[in-house]
Amino acid sequence: MSLLEVSDISKSFSTGRDIIGRRTGWTHAVRNVSFTLDAGECLALVGESGAGKSTVGRVVLRLIEPDAGNIAFDGHDVRGASPARLRAMRRGMQMIFQDPHSSLDPRMSVLDAVAEPLIVHTDLDREARTEKVRELLDKVGIGPRYLSRYPGELSGGQLQRVAIARALAPGPKMIVCDEPVAALDVSVRSQVLNLLRDLQEELELAYLFVCHDLALVEVIADRVLVMAGGEVVESGTVESVYRDPQQDYTRKLLDAIPAPFPRGARQR
């Protein structure tokens, strides 16, 4: 049994309404997508903008309800979970978003932001929570002097580290990372990516790693799922897909990786 088992999920969004409010169009954001993710593994979801990557990530965490399909996390049905069961499951499955400026509340200090999930998911008292927050900030490379700072006072890279500490706080087994470095300055991207990789190894985390940058995917992922128009068009280990892509669509994505990356797939 895998940590995460996703079978045949589909999700449509209504795209318009006529003047009396009837729905007029639908976007099939995700169609019949299935995959598994093992404990400690990193699976990348790649594909062009609008391919359905973020929708898959959100459906997995039940931030949005799918129209069809099943999701099992750690042996428990996610779709049918009661609110109490879902809360318990959320301890094990966390999310990091692209833009830490919008994922962190500007009125919450760093201490409060990272302590919040500890309040929800643990019965640590205030003192123990503060100690735990210090530990977590240390893990993500943020000094204790930032404890009482507010998001507006931190750089994008620092903020994303805080968001990572917040995601780690409940002790998850899996983190859905939705373009976690795409909004950061190029100069700090690889630092944050390396941090994610080190944490994965140290904490044996599983990542569902949404990313359109195949050069980054190659660094961090074990397997890759290529999506186009809401469907999975190709999947396999990073090594096999990059060396011998089966679809033109995948080849185009790989060809878009900037040099220097002298690899078989791009030397044609």
Ligand X SMILES: Nc1ncnc2c1ncn2[C@@H]1O[C@H](COP(=O)(O)OP(=O)(O)OP(=O)(O)O)[C@@H](O)[C@H]1O
**Residue of 37, 52, 164, 242 that binds ligand X (CB under 6 A):** 52
Name the segment binding ligand X (CB under 6 A); options: 50-58, 111-119, 152-160, 236-244: 50-58
Q: Is 82 helix (H, G, I), strand (E, B) or coil?
A: coil
65 binds ligand X (CB under 6 A): no
**Residue of 5, 37, 54, 254 that binds Mg ion (CB under 5 A):** 54
Whole-angstrom Cα distance, residue 70 to residue 212? 25
94 binds Mg ion (CB under 5 A): no
Q: Is 100 helix (H, G, I), strand (E, B) or coil?
A: helix
Name the segment binding ligand X (CB under 6 A); options: 52-60, 115-123, 149-157, 186-194: 52-60
50 binds ligand X (CB under 6 A): yes
Q: Is the peptide bond before 144 cis (omega within 30 degrees of 0)?
A: no
Nearest approach, Cβ of 188 to ligand X (angstroms)? 20
What does 47 bind: Mg ion, ligand X, none (CB cut-off 5 to 8 Å by kind)?
ligand X
- Among all chains, which residue has been given the structure tokens 């080190």? 198
Q: What is the DSSP letter of 184?
A: S
Handedness of CA 191, 193, 199, 202 (dihedral sign): negative
Show the binding pattern over residues 12-31: x = contacts ligand X (CB under 6 A), - = does not.
-x-------------x-x--
49 binds ligand X (CB under 6 A): yes
Backbone torsions φ then ψ of 197, nearest 5 degrees: -70, -45
> Closest by alpha carbon to 6, among 88, 82, 61, 54?
61
Residue, CB closest to Mg ion? 54
Give the end-to-end CA distance of the chain in Å, rounded to a whole number: 39
Whole-angstrom Cα distance, residue 158 to residue 15? 37
Q: Which is nearer to ligand X, 33 or 205 (CB)?
A: 33
**Residue of 51, 175, 176, 253 that binds ligand X (CB under 6 A):** 51
**Residue of 4, 33, 37, 55 that binds ligand X (CB under 6 A):** 55
